[in-house]
Amino acid sequence: MKFFLDTASLEEIKEAVSWGAVAGVTTNPTLYARIGGKIQDFEEHINKICTLVKGPVSAEVTAPDAAGMVAQGRELAAIAKNVAVKVPMTLEGLAATRILANEGIEVNMTLVFSVSQAILAARAGARYVSPFVGRFDDIAEDGVVHLVNIIIALGNYDFSNDGPKGERIEVIAASIRNPSHVSQAALAGADIATVPFGVLKKCATHPLTTNGLAAFEADWEKVKQA
Ligand code: E4P
């Protein structure tokens, strides 16, 4: 499983890239608003992210209709070679995805919550599909179960002729809230987990690691004084 970072913060991206595991970035309007982003700076900001990360950087369209999404998608895709256009899972979004995919533009279909939505996204030519896990947990449903179902269903078929470049559609486990979500996404065979900075940090920690290190340090002090 690859890790994407789910953030619009340049500082977080720089730090997480230095840990060696970040293969891409996902942003959305909420994440951009969270860093105080302004509309006129958006494309330049995405460009900056694209210089920090080699892999796909998802930038989301905001138009409600297919024509608007396609226009925005083309503009976003022109920012850098590694932009993936994030399109919401609606009928208008599906129509936009088909057009963008036919032009060779990679689409990350977002706000996906069901098997039927995921199959439609794949048939429309999405390069990535993003099932949201945590938002199910927020409404007292098990988001991992839905993720697993989507992975199984997509694995039943070959969608490579539907996508922009003949590649297999990849599942991005999204709306990840804790390291357990990350582990379960990996066990379920998700291709990618897009993870907030704080959760990625937590993934690297374990109390037994902390305790073990403290013991090594204490014993090394004894060695130095022997
Ligand atoms: C996915 O690409 C989204 O940006 C993200 O994972 C949404 O997560 P949230 O439910 O924490 O907002």
Cα–Cα distance measured from residue 71 to residue 190, given in angstroms and rounded to the nearest whole number: 30
What tokens appear for 144 in the block?
A: 């991992």
Note the pLDDT tens digit of each residue in 95-144.
Answer: 999 999 999 999 999 999 999 999 999 999 999 999 999 999 999 999 99
Residues 197-216: what's their mean pLDDT?
A: 98
Nearest-atom index, ligand 1, CA of 194: 6
Catalogue the active-site residues.
Answer: 86
Residues 60-87: what's their mean pLDDT?
A: 98
pLDDT of residue 81: 97
What mean pLDDT value characterizes the chain? 97
Distance of CA 214 to the CA centre of its chain: 35
Query: Does residue 166 surpass a pLDDT of 90?
Result: no
pLDDT of residue 163: 85
Tokens 């533009």 sit on residue: 105
Nearest-atom index, ligand 1, CA of 135: 10
CA-proximal residue: ligand 1, atom 1 (nearest): 174
Distance 91 CA to ligand 1 centre (A): 20
Kindly report the number of other CB atoms within 10 A of residue 145's CB atom.
13
Q: Which residues line ligand 1 (CB under 6 A)?
A: 6, 26, 28, 30, 110, 130, 132, 134-135, 174-175, 194
CA-proximal residue: ligand 1, atom 11 (nearest): 175
Cα–Cα distance measured from residue 105 to residue 46, given in angstroms and rounded to the nearest whole number: 16
pLDDT of residue 75: 98
Note the pLDDT tens digit of each residue in 39-64.
Answer: 999 999 999 999 999 999 999 999 99
- With 0-12 / 13-18 / 19 or more C-beta atoms within 10 angstroms meaning exposed / middle / buried, residue 121 is buried
Note the pLDDT tens digit of each residue in 124-137.
Answer: 999 999 999 999 99
pLDDT of residue 200: 98
- SS3 for 63? coil
pLDDT of residue 164: 83
Residue of 5, 33, 35 whose CA lies nearest to 21? 5
Query: Does residue 152 surpass a pLDDT of 90?
Result: yes
Helices (H), the chain: 10-18, 29-34, 42-52, 66-77, 91-102, 115-123, 134-138, 143-155, 179-188, 197-203, 207-225
Cα–Cα distance measured from residue 133 to residue 42, given in angstroms and rounded to the nearest whole number: 27
CA-proximal residue: ligand 1, atom 8 (nearest): 175
Distance 188 CA to ligand 1 centre (A): 19
